[in-house]
Chain A
Amino acid sequence: MIDKVKSIEKDALAQIKAVNSKDDILRIKGRYIGKNGVLTFCIKELKNLPKEKRGEVGRQINVAKKSIERELETAMRRFFKEERENLFKNALPLDITLPGRRPPLGRVHPITQVTDEIVDIFLGIGFRVAGGPEIEEDYYNFAALNMPKDHPARDMQDTFYIDTEKLLRTHTSPVQIRVMKNEKPPLRVIAPGTAYRRDSDVSHTPMFHQVEGFMVDNGVTFCHLKGVLTVFLHEFFGKATSVRFRPSFFPFTEPSAEVDIECVICEGKGCRVCKWSGWLEVLGAGMINPTVFDSVGYDTERFTGFAFGVGIERLAMLRFGINDIRLFFENDIRFLSQF
């Protein structure tokens, strides 16, 4: 019986060696170790053997079965591999340079991007965000900011009127008044928003965006104004950017300053953008005028504060190298999709 098993194994292995196809393998598998295979038959025969022989023969059958299975597996694998290789060899070529499938890439408007960035910087040094209406009352936009009726400073801000009392806010500064009327110091607030002036040319659009900011507390000084705005400008334009403060005038701040940065286009050497001065004006600021504190009922002896206004279009133009402010509101997708 052992010899028979051995010869079955030998036959089987020889046949496996000679297979030509997967079907051959399956056939051989059936013939030897399938349900009606010859080796399976041997297992069934075991019970006819004397008890003392069964153990040895059984082991021999097992050895044979394992070896056949192993060889079958090996052969099978070889065929799979060949088949795969053929498949890959004959696969249709793929043009990987064809574009991927996706909707066109959207963009957030550059004005929004720059606003978000400014807000985040000030948030990072403890300022919170406030807002106010765009159709504003004369009082908040002018009178409470030390610009009574018939004040020549109103000429600096040509105004769109809705009626005799209501107007389109000419700056985001009225938010200052609205916040201060409702809250007591300490205050650290920024107010991004839309403003309007009756002005339209290459460098002015009748609608534009500003971020107003202010800080009021006991002990806020002009040195703090310089410190906070320098931190902001260094963060926005880079640490190496030179910043200068020069005297100016706004009715609602005193002393007032205009803040210049070294021209980002020519690095201070002088070019068309900075009008050959090497400097670019980027924001206006100052110590809040005591008259303004009076109009919101703050103790002017106790509290001091600074305020500033940043033109967002201006910063966006410098950031992205945009030379015509009107592009922002034309909404040409060739423009919008660049940012």
Chain B
Amino acid sequence: MLEVRNLQKNYPNFSVFVDFKLKKGEFFSLLGPSGCGKTTTLRLIAGLEKPDSGKILLSGEDITNLPPQKRKFGLVFQNYALFPHLSVSENILYGLSKESNEMKKERLEEMLELFKLTELKDRSIRRLSGGEQQRVALARSLATKPRLLLLDEPFAALDPSLRQSLREELKTLQDKLDLTIVFVTHNQEEALSLSDRVALMDKGRIVQVATPFEIYTKPKSDYAASFFGQVNFLELEVQDKKLKWGGTLIDIDLNEGIYRFAVRPEHLIEGKGVRGRIIRGSYLGFAVEYIVATSQGELRYLELNPHSVKCSGTEIELSLLQAIPVGKKS
């Protein structure tokens, strides 16, 4: 539905170059640390920035040079950008000023009901909580029935406890209205839990596009592997389709050689393999995270469903459940 083709935007010390496609009804996340170019990409799609080269197509129509006014997209900013001089209803109706009164009334009621804002409709924007503001911002951008909804870190300004429930609401909303969404975030958990596909960005480039499951389990680079939580990087040898792990051999579909592997802490488990000694353990509630000194260096190991916390100095042996190859050494 949306096609972003070799889109490039240059700045004095930075450039953004992106290329991706979106299906109708898809929830697509641009994920990356601040300064990686994800917001610029969103602004290019919205028409708020002019690209230096490349094209944006919407259902086949070239909209690269269309001003933001004509794109009929919805955009929610990180701090919502609600008009402080207008009430809740007036904000929601802002984009419908050229429509008939009947249409306005109908849309307003629809939005107020959808976002449970009916009681707040005459409230001043300044007297709304963060969560309410976010609902008004969404209502305002959806009131015009946009062809594409662009969300720039819409949860960043909210309490963590509120984020969880609003995330679920957004997902429900998307299913209900069959929205196509481009979602910008630096929060990997948000990206994983909401998206159909995630585009991981670094220094103005997309480094990997994949489903949440794929990008977590099959990251293609050190960067992608370490973006989603702690990870151990190890150089291990493969021989005869077997990976050497201490005294054990694990089946693996790789040619002979030494590879660089990413091993997540929860992919280690007590059992036959590499011996080590616990340096330190931190209790996390649902798990205990240990730092273990081994012949492979210091390893992070996550014990799920712990019965107790082991003391420093305890001997331990770890077997390997899964290792993700991220590069070949030789």
The judgment on whether A and B are partners is: no
Tell me the A residues contacting B by CB distance below 8 Å: none
Tell me the B residues contacting A by CB distance below 8 Å: none
